Structure 1
Amino acid sequence: MPDPQQRAENVPLSIPRRLEPEDAQLALQELQTILKRQDVVESLAQRHESDDKSHQLGGLLHKQHENEIRAIINDLHPADIAFILESLPVQERQVVWQQVSAEHDADVLLEVDDWARESLIESMDHQDLVAATGTMDADEIADLAADLPPDVIAEVQKGLTEGERAQLLEAMGYPEDTVGAIMEFEMVRVREDVSLEVVLRYLRRLQELPDHTDQIFVVDRQDKLQGTLHLTSLLVKDPETLVSSVMLTDYLTLNPLDSDADAAGAFERYDLVSAPVVDDQGRLIGRVTIADVVDVIQEDSQEQALSRAGLQEEDIFAPLSDALRNRAPWLFINLCTASIASLVASRFEGTVSHIVILAFLMSIVAGIGGNSGNQTMTMIIRALAVGRVTGSNAWTLVKRELIVTLLVGLCGGLVAAAFAWAISGSAAIAGVMMAAMVCNMLIGATLGVLIPMLRDKFGKDPAMGSSVLLTFATDSLGFFIFLGLATIFLI
């Protein structure tokens, strides 16, 4: 077996080809087949360890498998390589990672999710990390700084210019989830007193434009932003025209301490491709692009989906101990809340034993209340995420949701009452069923608004464990209301 610390270097890249959405999926299936074959070879080699011929054959097959992995993985886009690595268990992930061309290292480390990046970095030696990180821009190094060993960061800093080092320290100084943490430093600046012809000549001297360049930033000698010049204007206007005559002075700017979620909302609202980032003195210090914003939106969406179930992001192939620490707390809370709901139901044992059909109907009341609350909660969490909920409209939202839920509850309650009457033959049970369902749906809608808003007010993630808390309330109160009404009107 080769040393797992070895890295595949100087592997010739294949001729670029058109990207297909299915490439990564097909490559993953092929790699999984090769890895399974390799497991069989290693198992046989261990059984015949004393047999020199078997050992030699195993070595040849292992080398063949490495070549096959290398040929598949290095023909893919770095984002597809990252997807494949995230989709493999840790041990297989390391095997494939060792065959990735060193030329792809930097791009893959930037594309892969945080939980998978840690295991990749751990398998790389010092020189590999320095080589990969040394090709990155200052803002990209800052993105990986939390996962990189301190000695690697120190050595990479030595190879940076004074300006790049200052940019790196600045980027690392901004809190997570802020514009400063995602902004880029690479952009094009020009003065307002030059002609468009001068700007065009300047651009032609560049090797390439920064990614997602749709506008050029016009600054003065103190780097204070004066306006923006869109590339479309640069291309169609008279080359002799001065920049000051065609630049836009009405533009959106971001502050490095703004929330990245607010920035994402601005991009969505104004259909932006890029936006300048200025400090409190109005100096241009960076820019945010649509690529950065898409990453923010995707991460927020994933975190929100996990938070509603009380989970944090984890490696799906993580050790059992890590998975237990992530999942057990809220499951334990859910167990406690379910026990309370059962305790509430047990207090009405006499009622249920007297009218057995109630045992079958009460789960409907609890379930509908939970579903109604979850619909409301999903809308409120989304509205909070984009900043549409404020203290002044909170009560209006509560009233609106109560009215909508009441109307839906009355319609659904009639259906539930008809069902209860059909299986029980009792109009009284049908009436209790309808009243309990409407009441529990109203409770679910109210809590669906209040739980995320209160958590947000106290600086907590509004989605974290919200569905667990809602289910507890609608189950417990649903049983209490339904069986309580049954006790009062049916016994």
Structure 2
Amino acid sequence: MAGGAGHPPRYKAGMAEPTPQTEAETPREAFDEGHLSRGFVSDVATRLERGDDEAVRAMVAPLRPADIAELFALVPENDRGPLAVAIGEALDADVMAELADYVREDVLAAMSVGAVAEMVMQLDTDDAVAIIEDLEDDEAREVLDALAPEDRADIVAALNYPEESAGRLMQRELVAVPEAVTVGDVIEQVRVTIDPATDFWEIFVIDTERRPVGTMRLSWLLTTPPEVAVADVMQREQTLIPVDMDQEEVALLFQKYALISAAVVDGGGRLVGVITVDDVVHIIQEEAGEDALKLSGAGDGDINEPILETYKTRSRWLIANLGTAMVSSSVITMFEPTIEKLVVLAALTPIVASVGGNAGTQTMAVAVRALATNQLTESNTQRTIWREIRVAMLNGGTIAALVGIGTAVIFGNPVLGLVIAAAVLFNIMVAGLAGVMVPVALERWGADPAVASSVFVTMMTDTLGFLSFLGLATMVGVANLS
């Protein structure tokens, strides 16, 4: 396949060099703080409604691929198909690679199978797979049938790997040379056999069974005399990525070792692809946002997601929260006689639960992020739990003192102040412990801590907050609190 979407255009020898495109060519009024302005988007939509495709093409022509992708996301959903038709050749592989998932589905629906197939052939394997995944089964088969056998084989092989794995993320376009050749041989091989549209930053050195034995940077290739053997200048230490490794773990390796690219190997240790840092940047971005959205139960969090799908995702989460809230509320009914004798307890009870819930959310967010970035492992779990307990003790002591003094002053009752202070201290301690232990336990059991932690931590802080405050109040006696 031709080289990567999202990269600058590349030209073969003999082709005329186009005039370099800069943002200055785009009308200044089209942008507002780096984004397409509301007026520009509105003008495009108006011309689409009038059927003035020529005017739309003229407006879009100066835009960069990322700007065109942004335009597709900003216009109304029913305008995306007409916009794809109107801009014609401006909708190229670079633009398609920049489109958000749900927006890309709308755009693909407006394209013919032949146009999609032609675009897929221009993309790197990982971007091509993303497009094929968005198609209906029959359309995907038609597109695959329209591809060259070699391109089709690469995409089908990638689709056989698990979703969000290195196999799906990798590109098959790479440069690999045997260890026995010289630098001059490598340069000649690259000139003769490598498509000029292929981007690469490292050359992989392989043995006779295609197992990676080292790497060679382009800077070394350009600065080393041609008669020098590759074996004498290559770097033997390298990071190899198993083809079935989860993309989140891949991203962590790139962060940890500051990688530009890394070889992907199959079960037999043979080189099958390469992952580059530009792909990993997107993964880091996606995973970070994904965990935050899972904690809130907001699903994908894509504003272009169909309303029905968003409803299904969020309603399941809210129903689960309703169930845990009923467990917490049942604790209050247990102490109904105490509350009836001293109504002020009903006003103070939510404070205990709320403060504990917020403390638990803070700890849980830190724990989930630490698990996602491999900062929290089995070797330091106990130390982390003890750390959060100490933080909870400090926070609990401070908040308990403030709540206790405030309650005693406002209601003129020091005993009531001591009761709520003790309950707040206890609940914040519970929150600190649960905020770490629940995500860790879920992760150890193979569940995603970002998805379920919030439900369990909230239930624990609410239930134990109500139980501690109303239980202490009952033990002390309503007469002493009145």
* Counterpart AA for 1:401: E
In the alignment, what sits opposite 2:353? 366
Q: Which residue of 1 aligns with 2:42?
A: 33
Residue 425 (structure 1) aligned with residue 434 (structure 2): no
Deviations 1:259-305 (CA, angstroms, capped at 9, x unpaired): 21111111001111101112233321111110111121122122212
Determine helix, strand or coil for the equivalent of 1:285. strand
Question: Tell me, what secondary structure is at the counterpart of 2:297?
Answer: coil
Let me know the Cα RMSD of the aligned residues: 2.9
d(CA) in 2 for partners of 1:343 and 1:90? 46
Asked if the contact 2:66/2:95 (under 8 Å) is kept, the reply is: yes
Q: Is the 8 A contact 2:36 2:70 kept in 1?
A: no
Aligned to 2:239: 252
Tell me the SS of whatever aligns to 1:98: helix
The CA deviation at 1:26 is: 4.3
Q: Secondary structure at the match of 2:447?
A: coil
Cα distance in 1 for partners of 2:353, 2:137 equals: 53
Deviations along 1:145-190, one digit per CA (max 9) or x if unpaired, are 2222445444444554544333222211100121111001111122
1:217–1:228 Cα contact (<8 Å) kept: yes
Structure 1 residues 467, 355: closer, same or farther in 2, change over 3 A? same
Judge conservation of contact 1:191–1:218 (CA < 8 Å) in 2. yes
Contact 2:356 2:427 in 1 (8 A): yes
**Aligned-residue offset at 1:103:** 4.3
Measure the CA separation in 2 of the matches of 1:317 and 1:230.
Answer: 41
- In the superposition, relative to structure 1, how do residues 70 and 27 fare at CA in structure 2: closer, same or farther (>3 Å)? farther
* CA distance 1:427–1:275, shift in 2 (3 Å): same
The equivalent residue for 1:273 is: 260
Residue of 117, 132, 142 corresponding to 2:104: 117
Structure 2 residue 230 is matched with structure 1 residue 243:
yes
TM-score by length of structure 2 reads 0.85
Mapped partners of 1:414, 1:180: distance in 2: 55
Look up the equivalent residue of 1:445 and give its one-letter code: G
Q: Give 1:5's aligned residue.
A: none
The sequence identity of aligned pairs, in percent, is 33
Q: Which residue of 2 aligns with 1:46?
A: none
Question: Which residue in 1 is equivalent to 2:94?
Answer: 107
Deviation sequence 1:352-408 (CA, Å, 0-9, x none): 344444333322211111111111111211122123434454344333322221122
Counterpart check, 1:323 vs 2:287: no
Q: Distance in 2 between matches of 1:433 and 1:63?
A: 68
**Where in structure 2 are the equivalents of 1:431-442 lying within 5 Å?**
431-442=418-429
One-letter amino acid of the structure 1 residue matched with residue 21 of structure 2 = P
Q: Kindly state the Cα deviation for residue 28 of structure 1 after the two structures are TM-superposed.
A: 4.8
Partner residue in 1 for 2:211? 224
Q: 1:210 aligns with which of 198, 210, 214?
A: 198
- How many Å separate the matches in 1 of 2:59 and 2:20? 13
**Structure 1 residue 447: deviation in Å?**
1.8
Number of residue pairs matched by the alignment: 456
Inter-partner Cα distance in structure 2 for 1:81 and 1:370: 43
> What secondary structure sits across from 1:100 in the alignment?
helix
Corresponding residue number in structure 2 for 1:351: 338
Q: Normalising to structure 1: TM-score of the pair?
A: 0.84
The verdict on how the C-alpha distance between 1:448 and 1:72 changes in structure 2, with shifts beyond 3 A counting, is: farther
Choose which of 307, 317, 332 in structure 1 pairs with 2:319: 332
SS of equivalent residue, structure 2 residue 162: coil
Partners of 2:175 and 2:204 within 8 A in 1: yes
| Match in the other structure for 2:5 | none
> Of residues 453, 456, 475 in structure 2, which corresponds to 1:466?
453
Cα deviation for residue 233 of structure 1 reads: 2.1
After superposition, the C-alpha distances for 1:173-210 in whole angstroms (9 at most, x for unaligned) are 10012111100111112232333233334445556373
Question: For residue 36 of structure 2, what is the amino acid of its counterpart?
Answer: A
Greater shift, 159-168 or 378-387, is seen at: 159-168
Question: Are the equivalent residues in 2 in contact too, given 1:274–1:287 (CA < 8 A)?
Answer: yes
Q: Which secondary structure does the structure 1 equivalent of 2:450 belong to?
A: coil
1:87-236 paired onto structure 2 within 5 Å: 87-158=74-145, 160-204=147-191, 208=196, 210-211=198-199, 213-236=200-223
Question: In the alignment, which residue of structure 2 is the partner of 1:16?
Answer: 21
- 1:34-113 aligned at under 5 Å gives the runs 34=43, 37=46, 62-64=50-52, 66-113=53-100
Name the SS for the 1:227 alignment partner: strand
Q: How far apart, in 2, do the equivalents of 1:442 and 1:477 lie? A: 11
Tell me the alpha carbon deviations over residues 37-87 of structure 1, each in whole angstroms, 9 at most, x when there is no partner: 569xx7xxxxxxxxxxxxxxxxxxx144x4443333343222332233234
Instruction: Give the CA deviation at 1:241.
Output: 1.8
Which of the numbers 399, 406, 411 marks the counterpart of 2:393? 406
Please give the alpha-carbon distance, in whole angstroms, between the structure 2 residues aligned to 1:318 and 1:174: 26
| Structure 1: gaps spanning 5 or more residues | 1-12, 43-61
Contact 1:432 1:485 (8 Å CA) reproduced = yes
Q: 1:386 to 1:237 in 2, by over 3 A?
A: same
Q: Out of 389-398 and 359-368, give the one that drifted further.
A: 389-398
In the aligned structure 2, how far is the partner of 1:115 from the partner of 1:391? 38
